[in-house]
Structure 1
Amino acid sequence: MSTPEDSLVSSTLRPRDASKEPSVTAQSTNTFEFEISSQQEEYLEIKNSSLDKYFDLFHDANPIYSRANFLQNYRNALCSKDLISTMVIITAKLIGFAPEGSDLDIRIDHLLSSNHLELDIIGDSPTLDQMRKAYIMAFYEFHQFPGDQSWMRIGRLTRIAYRVGIDKLERLPTFYPDWAAISKAEMQEWRLLWWCIYKIDSYTNLAAGTPYLIDKDFINTALMMSESNIASSNGEPTESEAVYLPTSFQGLWEVIPSLTSDPETFLANVHIVTVTAMRDVALVGRIYFLREHTGTVEEVFKEAERQLSALRLALPFGWLNTDRNALAGESQSNHHARLVTIFHLSFAQLFLGILKCRAEEGDEWTRSWQKILENCQDIARAAAQWDSSFCVRVDPAINLVLLTALIFLEVHKKTSISSTAVNSESSIKHDQTIIRLLLDQFAKIWTFPRLIILSFKSFRESFSGVSGSLSQRQVNAILLSYKGPLHPRWVQFLASVRTIVNDAGYL
């Protein structure tokens, strides 16, 4: 009989030595050679400047590196040529920098098509740099060319991560000499990459209405540690040092006190926790869809509501205040990172309210419908604090949150509950304006928010044909038909809103 250790060994792949991959130094060229007539020194200046810009702008949304470690490896010729080239090209595209004679779109198309082949032939032991490049391309394609192909690319990347074994990173040194020989700093780099893959798996499947590939109940990779804690721990994290994501929704709030002991990584780890809160609420939705008429659904809703409340209260004092805490020295960067977690929590509550409205009637339904409006207003309040210069610095997946708020604010304008309130419609219109303006800022950089804006316009156009105030039954018909923007029935939903509402009115 095989033991758990045998199973672990057989399902995990060894890391290949990155130093054996093609490398690049600060004095050599790479595959990103703009067709420019300048001297080599000028080209190197462009390249180095682009790498600095990558960390200044793009890295916060995708913290797959330690900046200091990466730049040191770059200077020591330990970075893959392909990775450097990819970082420079993507950064140039995002900041709108295109030297004379270059065609970034053609180069990016080549990167995307060639990376599909690379994922097929990446082998049994991809290097860290190969995985990083694959992640950057998956992230970029999802937000710039959203659709089935980008969704499939992320799925393939996630499965490769499982094959490498970074979902159980803390156990690998116990079973493999080559993993045991890896430095603590490099283990942290793999850890950073894993949690970025975890988040993008969450976003994409939430948008598509499909099950997550990653099951968080079977993750044995610790949350992030700061470089100072890594250096002081003198070896791999011990069980007392390492902090793990709880294996159930019930314990999600309990991890917060442990994270406060490491201020350098607190924001990044809370980001993972709030993404998990969204994931867990979506799982509640799947339970409702599959077991709508069973007695367990109501209890699941109550438990999810309790756990979300506990998580919000477990966060530091003033965390949910959308204003920047200037008196406490909160930087703009940290403020916007905190705003992202507020978006996540507001969306989790909004989505839970949608699920509860589907299952309730009478006064309970009215309370849940009111809660949906409250959560949409919270999202608009956070959006109002946004500095547009941070649109390239955060994960644009928060546009999923903005779309949901826009649509249900629109529905609220046509309900008798909202229409009887003083100044309610003008307040809702203002909130929609704020959210739309933020989407417009993201749309200057990414395609995904542009498609979201078009989706909302399509919804509003179809919905404008509905006359009078909506009944509870008609609102529920919309709630039951609502899908994520990457769901195969999304376009059908947008086109048929008027029919859905009218049909419900005749029942």
Structure 2
Amino acid sequence: MSTPEDSLASSTLRPRDASKEPSVTAQSTNTFEFEISSQQEEYLLDKYFDLFHDANPIYSRANFLQNYRNALCSKDLISTMVIITAKLIGFAPEGSDLDIRIDHLLSSNHLELDIIGDSPNLDQMRKAYIMAFYEFHQFPGDQSWMRIGRLTRIAYRVGIDKLERLPTFYPDWAAISKAEMQEWRLLWWCIYKIDSYTNLAAGTPYLIDKDFINTALMMSESNIASSNGEPTESEVVYLPTSFQGLWEVIPSLTSDPETFLANVHIVTVTAMRDVALVGRIYFLREHTGTVEEVFKEAERQLSALRLALPFGWLNTDRNALAGESQSNHHARLVTIFHLSFAQLFLGILKCRAEEGDEWTRSWQKILENCQDIARAAAQWDSSFCVRVDPAINLVLLTALIFLEVHKKTSISSTAVNSESSIKHDQTIIRLLLDQFAKIWTFPRLIILSFKSFRESFSGVSGSLSQRQVNAILLSYKGPLHPRWVQFLASVRTIVNDAGYL
């Protein structure tokens, strides 16, 4: 009989069988062109922007649709957008064979073959990003991780990590309009975010080193227009190179309300990245005297970032009186998830390194952060599950698991109504995961992971000691880590072995 662990392993780690996919050559990128009417095509493109653009803001909608109507967009890119949108919204004209078409797209290797030299091709890169995003969330595992790695390295090869410097050195980049430069910026920051999410999930180093980025954060078209296409140096905002300066960028971003939410999203993703880097320092230098100071500095900077955000930013309710739209509310909720996860992960790291009362305070902080995540989840409108990056399910999984561990500790078990409160928080998070799982595979695997963890953990009797909790903290990995399935299967053994030490 197969176990949940077997199912998880086969879903995440098994490569797709290339022998069952259509044969593809570099010259046949449109062999499976989607044959629909022009009205249906335009409908699906509108749906793409209505539903998926918030998660993947790689276009200016107005510019793209203008180019599309003037037949200036790549047919290959349009076909990709239409096929992916049709699949995700359940639009399947008779004889469309969407699954075969998507397998064809995923099996293609055209980007590496077609981008030669220094001439940038924006539509090729956009198509590659859409396919990387789709594969990561529908077929998570080694293959999707490698695809994103290739996309990131090609972005480096094209040079969009240093976009502000390229026009100075290369005539072809100097000839590109300011509006198109902005489109490249949009694409770069989407690649930055997906590199962050995938390597957080896999527990591997990021390919993008933010200390060496020379691409500005996003500017609105109205700001670019008001500057006659030439923003001044004071109007261009860069991501700080150090964790220490992350909060300082927030005031500069408020001057451009149209892009403020999108740029704060980049900042809060960066906060998660930076805390994960602290984790790597801890793993590599656990016994050095610098680790404790690194933890303190990370905690200070997270506090500063939270306080630098506008008044009421961390309130999970929609600010209807101030005119906050549902879309903006959910975009803000995503940043709350990011910050809560950063604090939660930092608490996990601190617990590993502390003892006594300090350990108890950090363990309590973990519970608080899990509760913050549940509060944000409780405000979620399920119609937005397709409008945001489903990688936030990584945050939900971490909260679910440590709420489960909290139920078996003496600190939580002695609190009045603590267990019922924790169960309610878990229910809210699970229901949100169920909504995401109706669309994406990644949350379905996360639900399976949690079921497997809880099944293994249910065999642990009595209240957990500090040593036993730490054993779980030390063994915890991301859901795409190669040892993740091993962790799920051995939770009971990990806890029992720690109890005998």
Please report the TM-score for the alignment, with normalisation by the length of structure 2.
0.92
Q: Corresponding residue for 1:484?
A: 478
- Where 1:30 maps in the other structure, the secondary structure is coil
Change beyond 3 A, Cα 1:33–1:305: same
Choose 172-181 or 489-498, whichever is displaced more: 172-181
Change beyond 3 A, Cα 1:426–1:101: same
Shift of 1:403: 0.2
Task: Say whether residues 1:211 and 2:224 are aligned partners.
Answer: no
User: Deviations for 1:269-303, whole angstroms, at most 9, x for unmatched residues?
Assistant: 00000000000000000000000000000000000
Q: How many residue pairs were aligned?
A: 501
Shift of 1:116: 5.9
Shift of 1:181: 1.1
Equivalents in 2 of 1:21, 1:506: separation in Å?
A: 52
Equivalents in 1 of 2:400, 2:14: separation in Å?
A: 46
- Where 2:33 maps in the other structure, the secondary structure is coil
Preserved CA contact (<8 Å) 2:12 2:142: no
Preserved CA contact (<8 Å) 2:316 2:379: yes
Change beyond 3 A, Cα 1:93–1:2: closer
Change beyond 3 A, Cα 1:3–1:401: closer
Shift of 1:58: 0.6
Shift of 1:234: 2.2
Task: Pick the aligned partner of 2:308 from 309, 314, 330.
Answer: 314
- Where 1:485 maps in the other structure, the secondary structure is coil
Preserved CA contact (<8 Å) 2:137 2:390: yes
Preserved CA contact (<8 Å) 1:477 1:500: yes
Change beyond 3 A, Cα 1:482–1:79: same
Equivalents in 2 of 1:20, 1:184: separation in Å?
A: 44
- Where 2:481 maps in the other structure, the secondary structure is coil
Shift of 1:26: 26
Shift of 1:233: 1.5
User: Deviations for 1:331-354, whole angstroms, at most 9, x for unmatched residues?
Assistant: 000000000000000000000000
Please report the TM-score for the alignment, with normalisation by the length of structure 1.
0.91
Preserved CA contact (<8 Å) 2:24 2:108: no
Preserved CA contact (<8 Å) 1:415 1:470: yes
Preserved CA contact (<8 Å) 1:15 1:164: no
Equivalents in 2 of 1:340, 1:111: separation in Å?
A: 30
User: Deviations for 1:288-339, whole angstroms, at most 9, x for unmatched residues?
Assistant: 0000000000000000000000000000000000000000000000000000
Preserved CA contact (<8 Å) 1:64 1:132: yes
Equivalents in 2 of 1:16, 1:482: separation in Å?
A: 27
Change beyond 3 A, Cα 1:41–1:263: closer
Equivalents in 2 of 1:321, 1:3: separation in Å?
A: 41
Choose 12-21 or 162-171, whichever is displaced more: 12-21
Shift of 1:235: 3.6
Shift of 1:15: 33
Equivalents in 2 of 1:26, 1:116: separation in Å?
A: 6
Equivalents in 2 of 1:281, 1:506: separation in Å?
A: 32
User: Deviations for 1:419-474, whole angstroms, at most 9, x for unmatched residues?
Assistant: 00000000000000000000000000000000000000000000000000000000
Preserved CA contact (<8 Å) 2:29 2:108: no
Q: Corresponding residue for 1:427?
A: 421
Choose 229-238 or 413-422, whichever is displaced more: 229-238
Change beyond 3 A, Cα 1:431–1:92: same
Preserved CA contact (<8 Å) 1:483 1:493: yes
Choose 237-246 or 303-312, whichever is displaced more: 237-246
Preserved CA contact (<8 Å) 2:390 2:436: yes
Equivalents in 2 of 1:387, 1:26: separation in Å?
A: 42
- Where 2:12 maps in the other structure, the secondary structure is coil
Equivalents in 1 of 2:12, 2:420: separation in Å?
A: 57
Q: Corresponding residue for 1:23?
A: 23
Equivalents in 2 of 1:445, 1:154: separation in Å?
A: 21
- Where 2:57 maps in the other structure, the secondary structure is coil
Choose 214-223 or 122-131, whichever is displaced more: 122-131
Change beyond 3 A, Cα 1:203–1:396: same
Change beyond 3 A, Cα 1:116–1:471: farther
Preserved CA contact (<8 Å) 1:170 1:221: yes
Change beyond 3 A, Cα 1:159–1:236: farther
Unaligned runs of 5+ in 2: none
Equivalents in 2 of 1:4, 1:441: separation in Å?
A: 21
Equivalents in 2 of 1:185, 1:266: separation in Å?
A: 18
Equivalents in 2 of 1:102, 1:6: separation in Å?
A: 33
User: Deviations for 1:1-51, whole angstroms, at most 9, x for unmatched residues?
Assistant: 99999999999999999999999999999876556799999999xxxxxx0
Change beyond 3 A, Cα 1:30–1:326: farther
Q: Corresponding residue for 1:358?
A: 352
Q: Larger RCO: Structure 1 or Structure 2 (Cα < 8 Å, ≥ 6 residues apart)?
A: 2
Change beyond 3 A, Cα 1:164–1:33: closer
Choose 407-416 or 32-41, whichever is displaced more: 32-41
Task: Say whether residues 1:130 and 2:124 are aligned partners.
Answer: yes
Preserved CA contact (<8 Å) 1:119 1:156: no
Preserved CA contact (<8 Å) 2:41 2:82: no
Preserved CA contact (<8 Å) 1:249 1:304: yes
Equivalents in 1 of 2:4, 2:100: separation in Å?
A: 48
Q: Corresponding residue for 2:364?
A: 370
Choose 341-350 or 67-76, whichever is displaced more: 67-76
Choose 200-209 or 5-14, whichever is displaced more: 5-14
Shift of 1:232: 1.5
Shift of 1:101: 1.3
Change beyond 3 A, Cα 1:349–1:113: same
Change beyond 3 A, Cα 1:306–1:231: same
Change beyond 3 A, Cα 1:219–1:7: farther
Q: Corresponding residue for 1:12?
A: 12
Shift of 1:241: 1.1
User: Deviations for 1:157-216, whole angstroms, at most 9, x for unmatched residues?
Assistant: 000000111000001111111111111100000000000000000000000000000000
Equivalents in 1 of 2:10, 2:393: separation in Å?
A: 40
Task: Say whether residues 1:246 and 2:240 are aligned partners.
Answer: yes
The residue correspondences of 1:78-477 to structure 2 (distance < 5 A) are 78-115=72-109, 118=112, 124-477=118-471
Change beyond 3 A, Cα 1:15–1:70: farther
Equivalents in 1 of 2:5, 2:447: separation in Å?
A: 50
Change beyond 3 A, Cα 1:116–1:366: farther
Change beyond 3 A, Cα 1:43–1:143: closer
Choose 265-274 or 96-105, whichever is displaced more: 96-105
Shift of 1:103: 0.9
